[in-house]
Amino acid sequence: MATPRLPSRVTARSADTDGNRNNIQNLILLALPADELHAAAKKMEFVELPTHSVLHDAGESVTHAYFINSGLASVLSVMTDGKSVEVGLAGKEGFIGLPLVVGLSTSPTQVVMQVAGSAHQITAADFREVLSHSPLLEKSLNRYSQSLGMQATHVAACNRLHEVEERLARWLLMSQDRLGGDVVPLTQEFLAHMLGTRRASVTVAAGILQKAGLITYNRGSVRIDSRSGLEDAACECYASIRQQSERWEKEVNRLGTVPR
């Protein structure tokens, strides 16, 4: 399936961020001590990210990093023929620009805003400077890289081994975890693109879930009517991802170095 036509770069209205926690929803930033947050905030700007904004392109230089504040970003593995499949999701718990954390400057994946939102944006040069003086931020981002990598391995296996309706249920649950609320604003075309399957297969899968009373699918959005039922309908991958995330969270809380 070919990648939908997307803007080549972020075109967003921006405003200065002042480091006030009341204006920040990103969980990585909220977990920082005041001095590290202030140092980062001085270098960041708040940007609005329309749907389909491209944050990074595969193989190209990472010019900016993004602490997602709202919305939903898709991490895509792109093939040479233009086909791609989603291997990860990032919402307000997430960060886009992980190669910069370990001194690299290019991205192996494409990252696209699938649901419009906002982020705290920082240039690659400023990010490197901030990170060199922010040990807890560096540790948090290294931990986040493990979470995103774990998510990618499960999603890759899921796309190969499980039925479309199970994958759709898993994807909707992961999206709801990051967006909150009961409505996920997505088109059928983009759902098919994210799941690496045909639109007709998504139609059938959505129909199965809707007939079971778990979702209501309207043009451009999916409403989750039964969260518990959707969890039962999802493949084991969702529970596995969530359980491992919870285990790691408990480990971090025991260490006491990075508060929520």
The pLDDT of residue 80 is: 84
The pLDDT of residue 258 is: 46
The pLDDT of residue 2 is: 41
Domains of the chain (ranges plus CATH)? 14-146 (2.60.120.10), 163-234 (1.10.10.10)
- Which of these, 200, 162, 181, 179, lies nearest to 114 by C-alpha position? 179
The mean pLDDT value for 70-77 works out to 92
The mean pLDDT value for 237-258 works out to 83
Write out the E strands in 168-214.
183-184
CA distance 191 to 165: 12
The mean pLDDT value for 71-89 works out to 86
CA distance 130 to 135: 10
For the chain, the average pLDDT equals 87
Band of pLDDT at residue 40, cut at 50, 70 and 90: very high
Helix, strand, coil % in the chain, rounded to nearest 5: 45, 25, 30
pLDDT over 90 for what percent of the chain? 59
Tell me the Cα Rg of the chain. 18
Indicate whether 188 pLDDT > 80.
no
Task: Read off the tokens for 172.
Answer: 């909707």
What are the φ and ψ backbone dihedral angles of 82, each rounded to 5 degrees?
95, -10
The pLDDT of residue 19 is: 53
User: Which of 49-53, 76-80, 116-120 has the weakest average pLDDT?
Assistant: 76-80
Band of pLDDT at residue 9, cut at 50, 70 and 90: low
Number of H helices, E strands in the chain: 10, 10
Task: Read off the tokens for 213.
Answer: 């009373």
The pLDDT of residue 189 is: 74
